[in-house]
Amino acid sequence: MSPSTDQGAPGQPGAPIDCVLFDLDGVVYRGTEPVPGAVEGIGFLRERSIPLSFVTNNAARTPETVAERISSLGISTTIAEVTTSAMVLAARLAEKYGTRALIYLIGAAGLATALESEGLRTTRRLDDGPVAIAQGLDPEIDYATIVGACDAVRSGLDWWASNPDYSMPGPTGQVPGNGAFVEMISRLTGERPTIVGKPSPHMLEHAASRLGATRPLMVGDRLDTDIEGGNAAGYETALVLTGVHDIHDALQAPAGLRPSYVLPSLRGLARLIAASGTLVDTEPSPAMTNAPIDATPPATDAVGTGSCRLVDGELILDDTARTSADGVRAALRLAWGAIDRGEPVRPGNLPRRIHD
């Protein structure tokens, strides 16, 4: 099932899922702790030598810092398995302008390091004659920096930004993200940057290309960044229910934000990948035996005559369907078909989250 139709999944028909791309916050960790199921799910991929990449919109941190944080949770991670929006932004600018090009930098050490690793030079002075602007989150940004950024944009320089995230988790709640400052500069100048982070497909395509993947799976907890980005890249997507968005959010999502799969947690990766053809003759490890199978739902569910149905515009699931990824996926498929025909759909007894 593709994100918006009942046709086959993106990628090469019949090919197994050959890499998994992960968002971080709400998927792999929450604060200083791993998300339940993350260690087991990622461990399963390690056991089967399935390549993976952790993709983050955060341009302020270096790949070394990201890898160290993930490893500290008991998920051993190498620098090569991390893809940041700063890395992708630097690669795109190097492709366009060549090494040694001078870039006007608005950002922190993570972005500066990424640009320099591609052979680019950086400046914070417009008088130095930069050819483009690279903007990432700068926790130390001040008024003078914002004024300088506006001057740089108004000068006609090619403006690129690492990501559009308006907010991000802080110690006591949501705090401004890079997107908040991008939006401010955009409103002041009337211009818009090229953005490489999710939901743009740039970063996911970069990560999958590094792994030589032909059928990637993008796993995330946000429909408007992770799922939208994976769909835009033409990849299969899985909404994991351990973070921001839940099943009711998926129900109401427009076509481009609909996930191919729903996972209670990353423990569900074993059965999902087995159903994709990667592990046809392999049993999942003992830690994964309770993970739900997310295979194609029966045709009866698609027409509303099986374990889920629409009654007067309201979704009704039987008890088994309400507690399984199979049943929830079938219900969403049924609801999306009705919504796309212009019919109103209420969630009924559709759960917000399920557990494995």
Of 6, 18, 25, 340, which one is the catalytic site residue?
Answer: 25
Query: What is the rounded CA–CA span in Å between residue 41 and residue 218?
Result: 14
DSSP for 101-128?
-EEEEES-HHHHHHHHHTT-EEES-GGG
Of 23, 221, 224, 301, which one is the catalytic site residue?
Answer: 23
Residue 180 contacts residue 146 (beta carbons within 8 Å): no
Chain CA centroid to CA 267, Å = 18
List C-alpha distances in Å: 196 to 47, 58, 71, 352.
32, 11, 26, 31
Please give the sequence-ordered ranges of beta strands (E in DSSP) within the chain, or none if there are none.
Answer: 19-22, 29-30, 33-34, 52-56, 82-84, 102-106, 121-123, 132-135, 158-161, 167-170, 173-176, 194-195, 216-220, 236-240, 261-263, 308-311, 314-317
Query: Does 165 participate in catalysis according to the annotation?
Result: no
Query: Does 23 participate in catalysis according to the annotation?
Result: yes
Query: What is the rounded CA–CA span in Å between residue 272 and residue 236?
Result: 11
Residue 236 contacts residue 218 (beta carbons within 8 Å): yes
Residues with a catalytic annotation lie at: 23, 25
